[in-house]
Structure 1
């Protein structure tokens, strides 16, 4: 197996870099360095496969294939033809090429892309298509050409088993990151009183079961010349644990509850999760030790008028104060005033972009 080490960039939503760095460290990736929008580390191709398979909070895994200097288009053409495309790409797999130019004598992105595309097609034989699953990213900065590859394909929030979603779904990568920020380690019970299609509950149960989040999907790296199917098949083998049945989702919409149950079944998590149709006012404490209450309630951007929601947040706060002593709340919202309407002492986390808004995780101590 090829043991060449490459620079790796773990892309994430701005504000989650520290979470990704910790996750990379726990996965054994060396010396993760926080940079804007992600984390830099290094690794071999098996490390890159493992990162895609196991990282719960990263958006994508990008690998830098190489660099060369080019001062003009003719030089770009010549050096692109000498680049070892065959070490990475296959002639039978189409590729998409995205080029950006900054602070360089080569400033025409379309012309630069044409040179690189022609070099690939004429030296390797691979076709270039705009909708190819395999995406090559070329950055020309200060006359240095850096060639990188998106090894993930679809974003890592696409787990592969969560097919049904609600009206305003929280990305799985965000839910996993918020659970991490709450100190979730797989042992605590988790409740979501407005669970929608079950994202928080499924992410918590999946981690408790020791299941890799990418176990039921495919990745772009499977179409590379460096890919070894037998080694990948061995890496994907896992020995799941059987966690306690302590992951509970509730919602007043029977349709989304049914979606959540189906998602749990596809994920192999139906034995440790339970989804029930009921309003917040009916929420009661389960027969478990204190754990986490994770909730992504409606907020202004999803409703139009945040003022209508103050009663909902106040009810949530009242129910939790009365019935959930010792539990901790993690509440996601874009509206600080709504978080305060719970009447609970909540500390805001960093703002995270979500659906055109900036949301924050508001955490409580033990209630």
Structure 2
């Protein structure tokens, strides 16, 4: 496969973080755009982006771009694309089309032309759960892309247990990156739920690629068998990652998630309330916490006491540690009594959350 334009999508607000990650992965020509990062490459770069990016939610491969003023022209140019380079006759596809500000305005008709071109070229069947091929016509410019990821990249394959309103793994990784986490600090979550912050932190410290145990859509491309490989833990963490929750079921679930992820040796979970929280032995690190907030769980009026108690314990017990607190409400964050600076709003389940972080306590 020759070099193509590849787009990694991410949560709005994480574009600068994803750009830094893409540059660290050596993805050629990485440039930040609204909603993600664009770079150039072939199948090797597609595989690297899917398997190793912690922040990307999906990786799209652009396979064609041309002007189309009417349906006959669209049909002719779609048929000229070398579909056999990417698609197989035995792998079903699912097509999607969108038209904005264009002379071709009928999305269903555009999608039918795309289906026909694929069927005539490679004979791939159409199915609702097939490999996703997208046609976007904007201002008469037709762009054709293939989804190389399949399931969203936040689905690492390990977190089978989820608690109430869990953070996606990509969001947890982004907030850790905002805190400057690089795998050399201990991390503690006093309301850990399913353990997302701790799993991400331990995997980063161990150098484990997030996509090491799952499959991707690009593995069904023509001429591809599999580009995944067994992970190599070249530097096992010497630090531990601590999770606490008042819900015993959450602790059991988080522990099982850590076992599946292969990081149980470096994580420790215990059932206890915030009032019992004490500083662990060792150097200071990060306290990462995603407490309940009014738009997510319960009545916001009942949460001020919880946040105040959290701030009191952290102030008394965690001198030298830094705090990252995720919430929708700046008033709740500041109820902790900690000096917190809020980051950009990030969409989460219909809400917009922010990471509020402190300096060393």
Name the counterpart of 1:170. 167
Q: Residue 278 of structure 2 corresponds to which residue in structure 1?
A: 284
Q: Any residues of structure 2 matched to 1:1-367 within 5 Å, and which?
A: 2=1, 4-132=2-130, 134-229=131-226, 232-233=227-228, 235-367=229-361
1:245–1:271: 8 Å Cα contact kept in structure 2?
Answer: no
Q: Is the Cα–Cα contact under 8 Å of residues 192 and 201 in structure 1 kept in the other structure?
A: yes
1:196-216 C-alpha deviation (Å, 9 max, x unpaired): 000000000000010000011
| Structure 2 unaligned spans of 5+ | none
Q: Is the 8 A contact 1:246 1:288 kept in 2?
A: no
Q: Cα distance, 1:31 vs. partner?
A: 2.9
The separation in 2 between residues aligned to 1:53 and 1:243, in whole angstroms, is 21
- Secondary structure at the counterpart of residue 97 of structure 2: strand
Tell me the distance in 2 between the aligned counterparts of 1:13 and 1:71.
33
Cα offset for 1:245?
4.2
TM-score w.r.t. length of structure 1: 0.96
- Cα distance in 2, alignment partners of residues 143 and 345 from structure 1: 51
CA distance in 1, matches of 2:160, 2:332: 30
What is the total number of aligned residue pairs between the two structures? 361
8 Å CA contact 2:209, 2:231 repeated in 1: no
Further displaced range: 189-198 or 82-91: 82-91
Indicate conservation of the 8 Å contact 1:159/1:213, yes or no: yes
Q: CA deviation at 1:236?
A: 4.6
The alpha carbon displacement at 1:63 in A equals: 1.1
Which whole-Å deviations, capped at 9, do the CAs of 1:204-246 have from their partners, x for residues lacking one? 00000100000111101011114243xx14x554344210241
1:90-117 CA-to-partner distances (Å, cap 9, x unmatched) read 1100011111111211110000101110
Q: RMSD over aligned Cα, in angstroms?
A: 1.1
Where 2:295 maps in the other structure, the secondary structure is: helix
CA contact (8 A) 1:190 1:292 kept: yes
| SS of equivalent residue, structure 1 residue 301 | coil
Once residues 32 and 38 of structure 2 are traced to their aligned partners in structure 1, the CA distance between those partners, rounded to angstroms, is 7
TM score, norm. by length of structure 2: 0.98
Structure 1 portions without partners, runs of 5+: none
Offset at 1:272? 0.3
* Offset, 1:122: 2.1
Note the C-alpha offset of 1:304.
3.6
User: What is the deviation of 1:139?
Assistant: 0.8
